[in-house]
């Protein structure tokens, strides 16, 4: 995989991080489904 693509995906992934009140970082799958190219949640 191209280094530029990896950097772009990592940046986008980190941009979707959410945090709890205690600072715990987490992600929601529905927020990330489009990164690998899934248009429908059912296919992710």
pLDDT one-digit tens code per residue, 4-27? 887 887 888 888 899 999 999 999
pLDDT band at 3 (very low <50, low <70, confident <90, very high): confident
pLDDT value, residue 1: 64
CA of residue 7 relative to chain centroid, distance: 12
pLDDT value, residue 16: 87
In whole angstroms, how large is the CA radius of gyration of the chain? 12
């Amino acid at each position: 995989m191209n280094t530029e693509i990896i950097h772009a995906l990592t940046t986008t992934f980190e941009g979707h991080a959410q945090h709890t009140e205690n600072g715990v970082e987490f992600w929601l799958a529905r927020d990330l489904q489009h990164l690998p190219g899934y248009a429908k949640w059912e296919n992710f």
